[in-house]
Amino acid sequence: MCLAVPGQVVERWADRAVVDFQGNRAEVSLQLTPEAMERDWVLVHAGFAITRIEERDALETWAYLRQIPAAEVDDAAGMPATDEVPHDAKR
């Protein structure tokens, strides 16, 4: 439950952003990483970016994440759960 998943900030407005997780996008809070800019890579846990990381490190992490069940990665990133009312991710 402490897994964090790297994604790339695609678009940011105020302290929110659309983050791309290797093709899947979700709305993420940048409240904990106000320094993160568009195109930066961040580690996301439960819908919040918790730190910025380098692209190279992010891609290395993805090489490992591809081997683990997608559902666990989705949960960690904060992708809306099935019985959760979708939040306004795709504006």
Task: Note whether 10 and 26 are within 8 A (CB).
Answer: no
Tell me whether residue 38 or residue 57 sits nearer to another protein (CB atom): 57
Tell me whether residue 38 or residue 49 sits nearer to another protein (CB atom): 49
Binding flags for another protein, 14-53, as an x/- string (CB under 8 A): -------xxxx----x-xxxx--------x-xxxx-xx-x
**Distance from first CA to last CA of the chain, Å, rounded?**
28
Residue 75 lies near another protein (rule: CB under 8 A) = yes
